[in-house]
Each structure stands twice: as C-alpha cells, then as structure tokens.
Amino acid sequence: MQVAERPAMRRVDPFMVVGKVNGRDEAARVATPADALSRMLGWLALDDDASAVWYLREDWPGPVTVIGRTAPGLTGESGRCAHLFPLEPGAVLCGAMTARCGARLTLPEIEWLTLGAGMPCEYCLARAGVCRNPRPLLEGGRQ
C-alpha cells in the first residue's frame, strides 16, 4: 500500500517591509510584525540613513487584527494589557500604531502576542465589534 504524500505547506507571509538601504530600494515579505521590526533594524544597522515602512500586503483578502502589549520594562505589569491593533491591507505603517482603544505605541515599544496570550485590554475588546450571533447554535441548528 502506498501512502499519499501531503502537499508541502506553503508559508504565507502577510506583511511587507519596503525601504531604501544604501541608496537601493529594498522589499521583503515577513510573517509577523516582530519580523518587520527585525528586518527594519537590520537595514538600519547596514545604513544609518536607511528608511523603511511596513504594511499588510495589498493583496491580502481582508483586514487583520494583531495583538500586542507594552514591552517589558516600559511600564508596570498592570499596564501591560493586550491591545488589538487593526490593520487594513495596503495601509502603510510607520511611527506609532493605534490600538482599538486609542492607545498609541511605536513598533519598538510593542511585545507581539499570540491569540489568547496576555490580559486583554477591556476597552479594545469593547470596541472590537458586536457579536453577530449572540445566541450560539446548538447541535442540530436549534438555539
């Protein structure tokens, strides 16, 4: 009996970093906002005059919400709640990012989190949207 091989999982990098390094245009796809910062800092290490921005790729099918909190050491632990940062495809990000609650943090000030990590910011959650189906469907389609 022959076992069917699974197709290789293709890595999808939803973010782009673009900039100018040593007078040359540069562009790179990256998987996370943390990777975007790392790439930009790498370019700055090569060229003190480097410039860069990052964004959710224009061809991404829809908005994405990323989760981050103030990096350790910048505020007390009670102030390190997990904020929701909405990103629209193609919207260029430079400087500070604004969370749903209005908190503004610069990219180096953000510790990026995975879904479910960290104490959520109640204001971000309140502004994240309303539940489209407030009563969950039970098995068989009954409410």
3-state secondary structure the chain: CCCCCCCCCCCCCCEEEEEEECCEEEEEEECCHHHHHHHHHHHHHHCCCCEEEEEECCCCCCCEEEEEEECCCCCCHHHCCEEEEEECCCCCECCEEECCCCCEEEHHHEEEECCCCCCECHHHHHCCCCCCCCCCCCCCCCC
Whether residue 143 lies inside any domain: the answer is no
Mean pLDDT, consecutive 10-residue segments, the chain of 143 residues?
61 92 96 93 94 95 94 81 94 91 92 87 82 53 53
Residue 47 is assigned to a structural domain of this protein: yes
Domain with 74 in it: 15-126
On whether residue 9 sits in a domain, the answer given is: no
Q: Is residue 113 part of a domain?
A: yes
Q: For position 77, what pLDDT does the model report? A: 78
Residue 1 included in any domain: no
- Is residue 39 in a domain? yes
pLDDT in tens, 79-91: 789 999 999 999 9
What does pTM read for this prediction?
0.77
Q: How many domains does the chain have?
A: 1
Asked if residue 135 belongs to a domain, the reply is no
Name the residue among 36, 10, 31, 12 with its Cα closest to residue 114: 31
Q: What is the pLDDT at residue 134?
A: 52
In a domain, residue 42? The reply is: yes
